[in-house]
Amino acid sequence: MAEKKEEKESWGKFFLDILIIWVILIGAYLLLFHFVLSNDTVSGLSMQPTFQNGDRLIAERHAQIKRGEVVIVKAPDEPGALYIKRVIGLPGEKIVSKNNQIYINNKKIAQPWLKQGTKLIDNGSDTFYSETQNFTMQSLMRARTYQQYFTRAQIKYVQDTGRIPKGTYFVMGDHRSVSKDSRYIGTIKRSSIVGVVKVRYWPLNQFKVY
C-alpha cells in the first residue's frame, strides 16, 4: 500500500512539473510576441511579388528601421488594420518619383525588389509591379484628402521643403500599381510601425530569413 501511495505521489508530481513547464513556456511565448515579436499574415496583393496573399511573417518590434526593409504598420486610414509595406524614404529626406524611378535627395536609388515590366493579372486586367506615377511630396500635399493625415506644422514643412516630415517614413508596396501606401495615406509615424519583417515561415517551402 505504501508503495502504491508513493507511486501515485510520484505521478502527481510528474504531471505537476509538466503543467508548470507548460505554463512557463506559454507565458514566455505570450511575453515574447507581445513585447519583442509580432506574428502577421499578408492580406492582399500590394507586396507582390515579394509576398503573396496568405504568407505568414514574424516581425521584430523596436528594430532599427532602414531603407528597403519591409515593415508592419498601423493603417492611418483604417483603425485597427495593419498594412505590410516597404520603407522607401526616411525622415527629412526629399523623395521624387519620375518615370518609374525613385530619387532620394536627388540621387536615384536601386530597387532590386521590383519586377519592372513583369505582367500580373488581377481581376482580369493587366497591371505592372513597378508602375509608379510621378510625384513629389509637395505635389502629393496639394490634395486635401492627403493633408488629413498630417498636422498643420507638417503640411507647412512639406510645402516649404518638399521633404518627408521628421519622425515619419515614406512606405510603398512592391506591387506599385495596386498598393495603397504613402502616396495616398501619408507618411507613417515611427510609433505606428509595429515591427520589421524578419522571417517568412509560411508556406514552408518558401521559408526565408530577412
With a CB cutoff of 8 Å and minimum separation 6, the contacts of 176 are 114, 128, 129, 130, 131, 132
| C-alpha cell at position 20 | 508548470
Helix/strand/coil for 136:
strand
85 is catalytic: yes
Query: Which residue is catalytic, options 46, 177, 179, 182?
Result: 46
- How is 180-198 classified by DSSP, letter by letter? -SHHHH--EEGGGEEEEEE
184 class by beta-carbon count within 10 Å (0-12 exposed, 13-18 middle, 19+ buried): middle
User: How many Cβ atoms sit within 10 Å of the Cβ of residue 64?
Assistant: 7
Secondary element (H or E) of residue 170:
strand 168-172
Tell which residue, 82, 111, 83, 112, has the closest CA to residue 95: 111
43 is catalytic: no
Longest Cα–Cα distance of the chain, Å, equals 89
Query: Which residue is catalytic, options 38, 85, 177, 179?
Result: 85
Active-site residue list = 46, 85
